[in-house]
Amino acid sequence: MAATAASNPSQLLPLELVDKCIGSRIHIVMKNDKEIVGLYLRLLPLLINSDMVLEDVTEFEITPEGRRITKLDQILLNGNNITMLIPGGEGPEV
């Protein structure tokens, strides 16, 4: 019997995988040297990009002075600036 996409996560389409991550922690790598870890609440599909809402967020940013870590209650991410999504990721090594 052949495996279906529903039973094999490696065969899910990208947005299907993102939808399955709702309510769990997600690690996001941005285009601008920022990495964000938070509880993924929902996807806001717009015309071209898909914005994401996260809460209990930790933002990691590389600056000339070193790494800056910022804690935020909630954030809206512009989908155009997202490079990579890592479901269950805990962020960069501290």
**Is 2.60.120.10 the CATH number for 14-87?**
no
Q: Which two tokens stand for residue 68?
A: 């800056």
Weakly modelled stretches of the chain, pLDDT under 70:
1-10, 14-15, 43-49, 94
Residue 9: per-residue pLDDT: 57
The residues, ordered by sequence, that sit 6+ positions from 55 with a Cβ below 8 Å of its Cβ are: 38, 39, 41, 73, 74, 75
Which value, in Å, is the radius of gyration of the alpha carbons in the chain? 15
Model pLDDT, residue 2: 47
Is pTM beyond 0.85 here? Answer: no
| pLDDT score, position 21 | 82
